Amino acid sequence: MEKPAETSCPIHDPIQQRWSPRSFSDRPVEKENLIRIFEAARWASSCFNEQPWQFIVATKGDPEEYERMLSCLVEGNQEWAKLAPVLILTVAKSTFDHNAKGNPHAWHDVGLAVGNLVIQATTLGLSLHQMAGILPDRIREVYGVPQGFEPVTALALGYAGDPTLLPDELCQREQAPRTRKPLSELVFSETWGQTASIVK
């Protein structure tokens, strides 16, 4: 199932093709593809090149570890994410290595790294769904995440599956069109809220 973005102009193909499915096949993700998605994340830019991103990964190849990670998601996400052969937690380092002060860009830079990761996954034919619905305290406890690090999101990763195997409501959401605000509400010039002439 494909759901390319209905863009107003041509954009880079994997950006157009990427979307966030809830259905996954049980085909495992090859080790070399997992390495490639993390390698892509690794080369993101970051404030002071601090690279404040960490990942914790679990695959269905190790059912016990997989179940532990699944239990770190809110229930509504467990319902469908349990189909994905790979789960990943993202964690931000909230202080700078170079001066131990707070890094206000830590979560932003995790976003940049995950941005690379999801584009890389898309080019490999993989589907990925990001979740804010996680249990940060449970993640800290289960994995011993130290002070100064913050769980940010979970990622469900795998090859596309059959959406009709989802519960009815999720199956309908899976097939709903993708929507975004128009560029005129996002790109300003001169003053706040004034659409930039370049996007008119």
Tokens, residue 113: 């790294």
Binding string, residues 56-95; x marks residues near a second copy by CB under 8 A: xxxx-----x------------------------------
Is 199 a binding residue for a second copy by CB under 8 A? The answer is yes
Member of 70, 118, 156, 166 binding a second copy (CB under 8 A): 118
Binding-site residue total for a second copy (CB under 8 A)? 76
Q: Is 73 exposed, middle or buried (0-12, 13-18, 19+ CB in 10 A)?
A: buried
> DSSP letters along 108-120, please?
HHHHHHHHHHHHH
The region of 73-81, 137-145, 162-170 touching a second copy under the rule CB under 8 A is 137-145
Distance CA 26, CA 48 (A): 40
Phi, psi of 24, rounded to the nearest 5 degrees: -135, 145
Member of 73, 81, 145, 166 binding a second copy (CB under 8 A): 145
Q: Which is nearer to a second copy, 78 or 130 (CB)?
A: 130
Distance CA 62, CA 71 (A): 15
Distance CA 153, CA 130 (A): 7
Distance CA 54, CA 2 (A): 30
Q: Which is nearer to a second copy, 83 or 153 (CB)?
A: 153
**SS3 label, residue 28:** coil
Site for a second copy in 14-53 (CB under 8 A): 14-16, 18, 20, 31-32, 34-36, 38-45, 47-49, 51, 53
Member of 2, 9, 101, 177 binding a second copy (CB under 8 A): 9
Q: Which is nearer to a second copy, 113 or 164 (CB)?
A: 113
Is 152 a binding residue for a second copy by CB under 8 A? The answer is yes
